[in-house]
C-alpha cells in the first residue's frame, strides 16, 4: 500500500480539529450514563480503515457518490473514520455548534473522495436529527471538532 500523501495527513489533522466543547458522550449502557463524569477531553484517536473489496461486494445500488461504482474505484484500504475515544469505552459525539458547510472543505474534497470515500448512496444521519451529505455525517456524528480560535479550514 502506498504511503498517504502529506496533504491527506494534513486533511485528517484538520478534520480532527473540528471538535467543540459541547459534545455529548456515548455510553455502553444506562448505568454508565448515570455515573459518567461531565464532558471532558478525549484520551486518544482511533483510526479505522475499510477494505474496498469487502465493502463493494455488498453494493446493491450505484450512484455517483458510491466509490464502488466509479470507474476508478479504490483498490487500497480507505479511511472509515478517525474517532476520538475515552479510555472507559465511551466517546464524544454529536458536538454542538455550527452546521456542516461543505464549502469549508472544498479544497480537500479531491483527497477526501479518494482516501475517505463513501460506499453508499443517499443521505447520512446527522446529529441534528436530519439527513445530510456524507461529510456532514462524518463531521457532526462520529468525528471530532475543535474550535479553531478564528481560523478557518483553509488557514489551518
Is residue 90 in some structural domain? yes
Residue bearing the bigger pLDDT, 53 or 151: 53
Task: Examine residue 12 and state whether it is found in any structural domain, yes or no.
Answer: yes
In percent, how much of the chain has pLDDT > 90? 11
d(CA 78, CA 117): 7
The answer to whether residue 30 sits within a structural domain is no
pLDDT tens profile 74-129: 999 999 888 788 899 887 766 666 677 778 888 988 888 889 888 888 777 766 66
The total of structural domains in the chain comes to: 1
On whether residue 49 sits in a domain, the answer given is yes
Whole-model pTM?
A: 0.63
Between 67 and 148, the more confident residue is 67
Structural domain range at position 137: 6-20+41-142
Average of per-residue pLDDT values in the chain: 70
Residue 9 has pLDDT above 70, yes or no: no
Q: How confident is the model at residue 64 (pLDDT cuts 50, 70, 90)?
A: confident
Would you say residue 147 lies in a domain? no
Residue 118 within a domain: yes
Q: Give the pLDDT of residue 94.
A: 67
CATH number (domain holding residue 46): 3.90.730.10
Which residues are CB-neighbours of 8 under 8 A, at least 6 positions away? 111, 112, 115
∠ CA 48-138-43, nearest 5°, is 55
26 falls within a domain: no
Residue at 136 is within a domain: yes
pLDDT at 26 > cutoff 70: no
Amino acid at each position: 500500500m502506498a504511503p498517504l500523501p502529506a496533504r491527506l495527513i494534513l486533511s485528517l489533522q484538520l478534520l480532527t480539529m473540528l471538535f467543540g466543547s459541547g459534545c455529548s458522550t456515548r455510553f455502553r449502557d444506562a448505568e454508565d450514563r448515570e455515573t459518567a463524569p461531565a464532558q471532558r477531553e478525549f484520551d486518544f484517536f482511533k483510526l479505522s480503515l475499510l477494505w474496498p473489496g469487502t465493502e463493494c461486494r455488498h453494493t446493491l445500488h450505484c450512484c455517483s457518490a458510491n466509490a464502488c461504482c466509479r470507474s476508478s474505484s479504490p483498490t487500497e484500504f480507505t479511511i472509515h473514520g478517525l474517532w476520538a475515544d475515552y479510555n472507559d469505552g465511551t466517546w464524544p459525539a454529536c458536538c454542538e455548534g455550527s452546521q456542516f458547510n461543505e464549502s469549508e472543505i472544498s479544497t480537500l474534497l479531491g483527497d477526501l473522495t479518494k482516501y475517505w470515500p463513501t460506499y453508499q448512496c443517499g443521505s447520512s444521519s446527522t446529529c441534528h436529527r436530519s439527513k445530510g451529505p456524507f461529510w456532514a455525517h462524518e463531521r457532526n456524528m462520529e468525528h471530532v471538532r475543535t474550535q479553531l480560535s478564528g481560523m478557518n479550514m483553509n488557514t489551518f
